[in-house]
Amino acid sequence: MSEDRRLHVLQAIVKDYVETREPVGSRVLVERHALDVSPATIRNDMAALEEQGYIAQPHTSAGRIPTDKGYRLFVDQIDTVKPLSPAERRAIQNLLEDAVDLDDVVDRTVRLLAQLTHQVAVVQYPSLSRTALRHLELVPLSPHRLLVVIITDAGRVEQRTVETAAEVDQAVVAELRARLNVVCAGRRVEALTQPLADLAAEFAPAHRPLVEAVAAELLQTLRQETQERIVMAGTANLARSDVDFPRTIGPVLEALEEQVVLLRLFAEMEEDPIAVRIGSENHHEGLTEASIVASAYGARPPGIARLGVLGPTRMDYPGAIGAVRAVARYLSRILGG
Protein backbone atom coordinates (compact mmCIF):
# COMPACT_ATOMS: atom_id res chain seq x y z
CA MET A 1 0.00 0.00 0.00
CA SER A 2 2.82 2.43 0.86
CA GLU A 3 4.36 1.89 -2.62
CA ASP A 4 1.05 2.77 -4.27
CA ARG A 5 0.75 5.85 -2.07
CA ARG A 6 4.29 6.93 -2.87
CA LEU A 7 3.51 6.66 -6.57
CA HIS A 8 0.45 8.86 -6.01
CA VAL A 9 2.64 11.32 -4.08
CA LEU A 10 5.14 11.42 -6.95
CA GLN A 11 2.34 11.95 -9.48
CA ALA A 12 0.96 14.79 -7.36
CA ILE A 13 4.40 16.41 -7.08
CA VAL A 14 4.90 16.24 -10.84
CA LYS A 15 1.46 17.68 -11.58
CA ASP A 16 1.83 20.52 -9.06
CA TYR A 17 5.36 21.40 -10.14
CA VAL A 18 4.39 21.45 -13.82
CA GLU A 19 1.51 23.77 -12.98
CA THR A 20 3.18 26.12 -10.49
CA ARG A 21 6.95 25.91 -11.19
CA GLU A 22 7.33 25.94 -7.38
CA PRO A 23 8.85 23.18 -5.23
CA VAL A 24 6.07 21.17 -3.59
CA GLY A 25 5.75 20.64 0.16
CA SER A 26 4.00 17.91 2.14
CA ARG A 27 1.25 20.11 3.58
CA VAL A 28 0.34 21.45 0.14
CA LEU A 29 0.07 17.90 -1.17
CA VAL A 30 -2.32 16.90 1.61
CA GLU A 31 -4.48 19.97 1.06
CA ARG A 32 -4.63 19.79 -2.74
CA HIS A 33 -4.87 16.08 -3.38
CA ALA A 34 -6.95 14.64 -0.50
CA LEU A 35 -4.38 11.93 0.23
CA ASP A 36 -6.14 11.02 3.52
CA VAL A 37 -2.92 10.80 5.49
CA SER A 38 -1.04 13.26 7.68
CA PRO A 39 1.66 15.62 6.43
CA ALA A 40 4.12 13.61 8.54
CA THR A 41 3.29 10.44 6.56
CA ILE A 42 3.69 12.35 3.31
CA ARG A 43 7.05 13.66 4.50
CA ASN A 44 8.16 10.08 5.10
CA ASP A 45 7.00 9.12 1.61
CA MET A 46 8.83 12.11 0.15
CA ALA A 47 11.99 11.13 2.03
CA ALA A 48 11.76 7.64 0.54
CA LEU A 49 11.18 9.03 -2.96
CA GLU A 50 14.15 11.36 -2.55
CA GLU A 51 16.37 8.50 -1.38
CA GLN A 52 15.33 6.52 -4.47
CA GLY A 53 16.22 9.46 -6.71
CA TYR A 54 12.70 10.34 -7.90
CA ILE A 55 12.55 13.81 -6.34
CA ALA A 56 15.08 16.35 -5.10
CA GLN A 57 15.25 19.37 -2.83
CA PRO A 58 16.55 22.36 -4.81
CA HIS A 59 17.63 24.20 -1.64
CA THR A 60 17.31 23.98 2.13
CA SER A 61 13.83 24.39 3.61
CA ALA A 62 12.25 24.10 0.16
CA GLY A 63 9.74 21.57 -1.07
CA ARG A 64 10.63 18.90 -3.61
CA ILE A 65 10.82 18.84 -7.40
CA PRO A 66 10.86 15.83 -9.74
CA THR A 67 14.13 14.50 -11.14
CA ASP A 68 14.56 13.02 -14.61
CA LYS A 69 14.07 9.62 -12.98
CA GLY A 70 10.86 10.85 -11.36
CA TYR A 71 9.52 12.21 -14.65
CA ARG A 72 10.37 8.89 -16.31
CA LEU A 73 8.38 6.90 -13.74
CA PHE A 74 5.52 9.39 -14.07
CA VAL A 75 5.48 9.03 -17.87
CA ASP A 76 5.75 5.24 -17.72
CA GLN A 77 2.73 5.14 -15.40
CA ILE A 78 0.51 7.37 -17.54
CA ASP A 79 -2.53 5.25 -18.36
CA THR A 80 -4.60 7.95 -20.00
CA VAL A 81 -3.43 10.93 -22.03
CA LYS A 82 -5.15 14.28 -21.93
CA PRO A 83 -7.79 14.27 -24.69
CA LEU A 84 -8.12 17.20 -27.04
CA SER A 85 -11.30 19.21 -26.81
CA PRO A 86 -13.85 18.97 -29.63
CA ALA A 87 -12.87 22.51 -30.66
CA GLU A 88 -9.19 21.54 -30.85
CA ARG A 89 -9.98 18.43 -32.92
CA ARG A 90 -12.09 20.48 -35.33
CA ALA A 91 -9.32 23.07 -35.61
CA ILE A 92 -6.76 20.38 -36.51
CA GLN A 93 -9.00 18.80 -39.10
CA ASN A 94 -10.05 22.07 -40.72
CA LEU A 95 -6.54 23.52 -40.80
CA LEU A 96 -4.90 20.46 -42.35
CA GLU A 97 -7.68 19.69 -44.83
CA ASP A 98 -7.42 23.21 -46.26
CA ALA A 99 -3.74 22.78 -47.13
CA VAL A 100 -2.96 23.06 -50.84
CA ASP A 101 0.20 20.90 -51.05
CA LEU A 102 2.72 19.00 -48.95
CA ASP A 103 4.77 22.10 -48.09
CA ASP A 104 1.61 23.79 -46.85
CA VAL A 105 0.61 20.68 -44.87
CA VAL A 106 3.97 20.52 -43.10
CA ASP A 107 3.97 24.26 -42.37
CA ARG A 108 0.43 24.16 -40.97
CA THR A 109 1.21 21.05 -38.91
CA VAL A 110 4.26 22.46 -37.19
CA ARG A 111 2.55 25.77 -36.35
CA LEU A 112 -0.53 23.96 -35.08
CA LEU A 113 1.48 21.65 -32.84
CA ALA A 114 3.36 24.59 -31.33
CA GLN A 115 0.08 26.36 -30.59
CA LEU A 116 -1.52 23.29 -29.01
CA THR A 117 1.39 22.43 -26.72
CA HIS A 118 3.12 25.81 -26.18
CA GLN A 119 6.40 24.04 -26.88
CA VAL A 120 8.82 23.94 -29.81
CA ALA A 121 7.23 21.83 -32.53
CA VAL A 122 9.36 19.78 -34.94
CA VAL A 123 8.17 18.01 -38.08
CA GLN A 124 10.48 15.80 -40.11
CA TYR A 125 9.89 16.38 -43.79
CA PRO A 126 9.13 13.12 -45.64
CA SER A 127 12.18 12.60 -47.84
CA LEU A 128 11.88 10.62 -51.06
CA SER A 129 14.01 7.87 -49.52
CA ARG A 130 11.23 7.19 -47.02
CA THR A 131 8.31 7.39 -49.40
CA ALA A 132 7.04 5.34 -52.30
CA LEU A 133 6.09 6.71 -55.69
CA ARG A 134 2.38 7.08 -56.28
CA HIS A 135 2.30 8.38 -59.85
CA LEU A 136 4.52 9.67 -62.64
CA GLU A 137 3.30 12.07 -65.29
CA LEU A 138 4.98 13.03 -68.56
CA VAL A 139 3.90 16.27 -70.21
CA PRO A 140 5.32 17.39 -73.60
CA LEU A 141 6.24 21.07 -73.38
CA SER A 142 7.66 21.50 -76.87
CA PRO A 143 8.89 19.27 -79.70
CA HIS A 144 12.14 18.70 -77.80
CA ARG A 145 11.22 19.20 -74.13
CA LEU A 146 9.36 16.92 -71.75
CA LEU A 147 8.15 17.69 -68.21
CA VAL A 148 8.52 14.83 -65.69
CA VAL A 149 6.19 15.11 -62.68
CA ILE A 150 6.93 12.85 -59.71
CA ILE A 151 4.20 12.36 -57.08
CA THR A 152 4.91 10.36 -53.90
CA ASP A 153 2.48 8.62 -51.58
CA ALA A 154 3.16 11.41 -49.06
CA GLY A 155 1.82 13.99 -51.50
CA ARG A 156 5.23 15.37 -52.40
CA VAL A 157 5.53 16.68 -55.96
CA GLU A 158 8.78 17.17 -57.88
CA GLN A 159 9.04 18.49 -61.45
CA ARG A 160 11.96 18.16 -63.86
CA THR A 161 12.42 18.85 -67.57
CA VAL A 162 14.14 16.55 -70.03
CA GLU A 163 15.67 17.84 -73.27
CA THR A 164 15.51 15.44 -76.24
CA ALA A 165 17.53 15.44 -79.45
CA ALA A 166 14.78 13.77 -81.42
CA GLU A 167 11.30 15.21 -81.64
CA VAL A 168 8.97 14.01 -78.90
CA ASP A 169 6.55 11.36 -80.17
CA GLN A 170 3.19 11.66 -78.39
CA ALA A 171 2.42 7.95 -78.75
CA VAL A 172 5.79 6.98 -77.29
CA VAL A 173 5.29 9.41 -74.41
CA ALA A 174 1.91 7.84 -73.64
CA GLU A 175 3.39 4.33 -73.68
CA LEU A 176 6.35 5.39 -71.57
CA ARG A 177 4.05 7.06 -69.03
CA ALA A 178 2.01 3.86 -68.69
CA ARG A 179 5.03 1.60 -68.33
CA LEU A 180 6.75 3.91 -65.84
CA ASN A 181 3.70 3.86 -63.59
CA VAL A 182 3.56 0.06 -63.73
CA VAL A 183 7.26 -0.17 -62.86
CA CYS A 184 7.42 2.60 -60.24
CA ALA A 185 4.06 2.81 -58.46
CA GLY A 186 4.29 1.74 -54.83
CA ARG A 187 8.07 1.27 -54.89
CA ARG A 188 10.72 3.10 -52.91
CA VAL A 189 13.83 4.64 -54.41
CA GLU A 190 16.17 1.74 -53.66
CA ALA A 191 13.91 -0.67 -55.55
CA LEU A 192 13.79 1.36 -58.78
CA THR A 193 17.34 1.36 -60.12
CA GLN A 194 17.29 -1.98 -61.92
CA PRO A 195 13.69 -1.83 -63.24
CA LEU A 196 14.37 1.60 -64.75
CA ALA A 197 17.64 0.40 -66.25
CA ASP A 198 15.80 -2.49 -67.93
CA LEU A 199 12.96 -0.34 -69.26
CA ALA A 200 14.71 0.98 -72.38
CA ALA A 201 15.01 -2.54 -73.80
CA GLU A 202 11.22 -2.69 -74.05
CA PHE A 203 11.18 0.12 -76.64
CA ALA A 204 12.33 0.33 -80.24
CA PRO A 205 15.97 1.46 -80.66
CA ALA A 206 14.91 4.84 -82.07
CA HIS A 207 12.98 5.63 -78.88
CA ARG A 208 15.47 4.33 -76.34
CA PRO A 209 17.39 7.63 -75.92
CA LEU A 210 14.16 9.29 -74.70
CA VAL A 211 13.43 6.42 -72.29
CA GLU A 212 16.99 6.44 -70.96
CA ALA A 213 16.95 10.22 -70.53
CA VAL A 214 13.68 10.14 -68.57
CA ALA A 215 14.87 7.23 -66.41
CA ALA A 216 18.19 8.96 -65.71
CA GLU A 217 16.47 12.23 -64.75
CA LEU A 218 14.06 10.34 -62.50
CA LEU A 219 16.83 8.48 -60.65
CA GLN A 220 18.94 11.62 -60.31
CA THR A 221 16.02 13.52 -58.84
CA LEU A 222 15.21 10.77 -56.36
CA ARG A 223 18.83 10.56 -55.22
CA GLN A 224 19.24 14.32 -54.89
CA GLU A 225 16.06 14.75 -52.87
CA THR A 226 16.74 12.10 -50.23
CA GLN A 227 18.35 14.48 -47.75
CA GLU A 228 16.54 14.53 -44.43
CA ARG A 229 15.34 17.87 -43.09
CA ILE A 230 13.03 19.22 -40.44
CA VAL A 231 10.73 22.18 -39.99
CA MET A 232 10.33 23.95 -36.63
CA ALA A 233 7.94 26.44 -35.04
CA GLY A 234 7.42 27.87 -31.58
CA THR A 235 11.04 28.51 -30.64
CA ALA A 236 9.83 31.64 -28.82
CA ASN A 237 8.03 29.32 -26.39
CA LEU A 238 11.44 28.37 -25.00
CA ALA A 239 12.14 31.99 -24.08
CA ARG A 240 9.03 31.96 -21.90
CA SER A 241 10.40 28.86 -20.20
CA ASP A 242 13.87 30.21 -19.48
CA VAL A 243 13.43 29.65 -15.73
CA ASP A 244 13.19 25.92 -16.52
CA PHE A 245 16.78 25.89 -17.74
CA PRO A 246 18.89 26.53 -14.63
CA ARG A 247 22.14 26.94 -16.52
CA THR A 248 21.22 28.71 -19.74
CA ILE A 249 18.84 28.32 -22.62
CA GLY A 250 21.72 28.79 -25.08
CA PRO A 251 22.71 25.10 -25.43
CA VAL A 252 19.11 24.15 -26.19
CA LEU A 253 18.85 26.77 -28.94
CA GLU A 254 22.19 25.66 -30.38
CA ALA A 255 21.01 22.03 -30.46
CA LEU A 256 17.86 23.11 -32.27
CA GLU A 257 19.93 24.89 -34.91
CA GLU A 258 21.82 21.64 -35.61
CA GLN A 259 19.14 19.70 -37.45
CA VAL A 260 21.33 16.61 -37.43
CA VAL A 261 20.92 16.44 -33.65
CA LEU A 262 17.13 16.28 -33.83
CA LEU A 263 17.21 13.91 -36.80
CA ARG A 264 19.46 11.55 -34.86
CA LEU A 265 17.12 11.68 -31.87
CA PHE A 266 14.15 10.97 -34.13
CA ALA A 267 16.02 8.01 -35.60
CA GLU A 268 16.61 6.63 -32.11
CA MET A 269 12.86 6.80 -31.46
CA GLU A 270 11.77 4.89 -34.57
CA GLU A 271 10.81 1.74 -32.67
CA ASP A 272 8.23 3.50 -30.47
CA PRO A 273 4.81 4.67 -31.75
CA ILE A 274 4.92 7.41 -29.09
CA ALA A 275 8.38 8.07 -27.68
CA VAL A 276 9.35 10.29 -24.76
CA ARG A 277 12.98 11.19 -24.01
CA ILE A 278 13.61 13.05 -20.76
CA GLY A 279 16.65 15.14 -19.87
CA SER A 280 19.82 13.09 -19.84
CA GLU A 281 18.11 10.34 -21.90
CA ASN A 282 18.66 12.56 -24.95
CA HIS A 283 22.42 11.85 -24.90
CA HIS A 284 23.23 15.36 -26.07
CA GLU A 285 24.81 17.91 -23.76
CA GLY A 286 22.61 20.75 -24.98
CA LEU A 287 19.39 18.86 -24.30
CA THR A 288 20.02 17.46 -20.81
CA GLU A 289 17.41 19.85 -19.39
CA ALA A 290 14.87 19.26 -22.16
CA SER A 291 12.32 16.60 -23.02
CA ILE A 292 11.06 15.41 -26.40
CA VAL A 293 7.73 13.75 -27.19
CA ALA A 294 7.59 12.30 -30.71
CA SER A 295 5.41 10.11 -32.89
CA ALA A 296 5.65 8.60 -36.36
CA TYR A 297 3.23 9.70 -39.06
CA GLY A 298 2.30 8.16 -42.37
CA ALA A 299 -0.09 5.46 -43.46
CA ARG A 300 2.44 2.60 -43.57
CA PRO A 301 4.14 1.31 -40.40
CA PRO A 302 6.56 2.42 -39.09
CA GLY A 303 5.63 5.71 -40.79
CA ILE A 304 7.37 7.88 -43.33
CA ALA A 305 8.75 10.42 -40.83
CA ARG A 306 8.26 11.74 -37.30
CA LEU A 307 6.92 14.81 -35.59
CA GLY A 308 7.09 15.98 -32.00
CA VAL A 309 7.56 18.70 -29.46
CA LEU A 310 10.57 19.78 -27.43
CA GLY A 311 10.45 21.70 -24.19
CA PRO A 312 11.69 21.75 -20.60
CA THR A 313 11.53 18.59 -18.50
CA ARG A 314 8.82 20.42 -16.55
CA MET A 315 6.36 19.58 -19.31
CA ASP A 316 2.70 18.67 -19.34
CA TYR A 317 3.43 15.14 -20.53
CA PRO A 318 -0.17 13.86 -20.77
CA GLY A 319 -1.14 16.96 -22.77
CA ALA A 320 1.93 16.82 -25.00
CA ILE A 321 1.50 13.10 -25.70
CA GLY A 322 -2.19 13.60 -26.50
CA ALA A 323 -1.53 16.50 -28.87
CA VAL A 324 1.38 14.81 -30.66
CA ARG A 325 -0.56 11.60 -31.13
CA ALA A 326 -3.68 13.38 -32.40
CA VAL A 327 -1.81 15.59 -34.87
CA ALA A 328 0.19 12.60 -36.16
CA ARG A 329 -3.05 10.70 -36.79
CA TYR A 330 -4.67 13.60 -38.63
CA LEU A 331 -1.53 14.16 -40.68
CA SER A 332 -1.39 10.46 -41.59
CA ARG A 333 -5.02 10.62 -42.67
CA ILE A 334 -4.46 13.69 -44.83
CA LEU A 335 -1.38 12.27 -46.55
CA GLY A 336 -2.95 8.86 -46.95
CA GLY A 337 -5.96 10.33 -48.72
The DSSP string of 307-333 is EEEEEESS--HHHHHHHHHHHHHHHHH
Class of 2-67 in CATH: mainly alpha
- Contact residues for 300 (Cβ-Cβ < 8 A; gap 6+): 153
- pLDDT over threshold 70, residue 242: no
Phi/psi at 155 (5° precision): 85, 5
Q: Are 327 and 113 in contact (CB under 8 A)?
A: yes
45-59, 224-238, 278-292: the lowest-pLDDT one: 224-238
Percent composition of the chain: helix, strand, coil (DSSP 3-state, to 5)? 55, 20, 30
CATH topology of domain 133-224: Enolase-like; domain 1 (3.30.390)
Rounded to an integer, what distance in angstroms lies between the CA atom of residue 266 and that of residue 128?
Answer: 17
> What is the location of CATH 3.30.390.60 in the chain?
133-224
63-72, 201-210, 225-234: the lowest-pLDDT one: 225-234
pLDDT in tens, 153-195: 767 778 889 998 888 888 999 999 999 999 888 787 778 888 8
- Residue range 316-331: average pLDDT? 93
CATH number belonging to the domain at 86-125+228-336, selected among 3.40.390.10, 1.20.1250.20, 3.30.450.40, 3.30.1280.10: 3.30.450.40
Query: Helix, strand or coil for residue 294?
Result: strand
Give the residue, 190 or 325, on which the prediction is more confident. Answer: 325
> What is the location of CATH 3.30.450.40 in the chain?
86-125+228-336
Which among 162, 131, 137, 134 has a CA at the least distance from the CA of 149? 137
Burial 243-265 (b: 16+ CB within 10 A, else e): ebbeeebebbeebbeebebbbeb
- pLDDT over threshold 80, residue 123: yes
Average pLDDT, the chain: 86
- Residue range 214-243: average pLDDT? 79
Work out the pLDDT band at 325, boundaries 50, 70, 90.
Answer: very high
- Up-side HSE of residue 197: CA atoms within 13 Å toward CB? 5
**Residue type, position 80, single letter:** T
pLDDT in tens, 274-323: 899 999 898 888 898 899 999 998 766 667 789 999 999 999 999 999 99
Cα 189 to its chain centre, rounded Å, is 22
Q: What is the pLDDT of residue 33?
A: 86
Burial 108-146 (b: 16+ CB within 10 A, else e): bbbbbbbbbbbbbbbbbbbbbebbbbbebebeeeeeeeb
**Global pTM?**
0.78
Work out the pLDDT band at 254, boundaries 50, 70, 90.
Answer: confident
